Amino acid sequence: FMHAYTNSAHPTASAVGLRNLQIFEDEGLLANAQAMGDRLGEGLKANLGRHPHVTNLRWLALIAGFTLVRDAATNTPYDASETVAIKVQRHMREEGSLITRVVGDNVLFAPPLSVNAAEVDQIVASATAAVRAVTGA
């Protein structure tokens, strides 16, 4: 049996794929992702890196996240029933900020490749305000 997928070697699908790669190159989306990812990560680090309820702050290009804990010094977690990350997410949404996902006590970000500096700064400011409001610190 020959195995194939619906769009395997399909001329239209191939043309669309090539055009998308050209758009990535023409618009500098990968360079923008790296620059804005660094801005996002460094902004979160500057504002929340020493926060008493934030640990495991990490980022790679435009994917970033941190973990909320009761005490960062001892890495003591919140009880799951406290839903602290969900409260941070809710606060950020009320502020109109972009947040993609909460998993347990992890707050995760993945803005689009075309995000600009003002939007990244809004995400950082909103995350900072939300963490401070929810944790009281």
Domain spans, the chain: 28-135
Exposure of 21 by Cβ count < 10 A (0-12 exposed, 13-18 middle, 19+ buried)? exposed
Q: Could you tell me which residues are beta bridge partners of residue 106?
A: 67, 103
Structural contact between residues 84 and 70, judged by C-beta atoms closer than 8 angstroms: no
pTM (predicted TM-score): 0.86
In this structure, CATH architecture of domain 28-135: Alpha-Beta Complex (3.90)
pLDDT digits (tens, 9 = 90+) for 66-123: 999 999 999 999 999 999 999 999 999 998 886 779 999 999 999 999 999 999 999 9
Q: What's the one-letter identity of residue 76?
A: T
Per-residue pLDDT, averaged over 39-55, amounts to 98
Q: Are 57 and 79 in contact (CB under 8 A)?
A: no
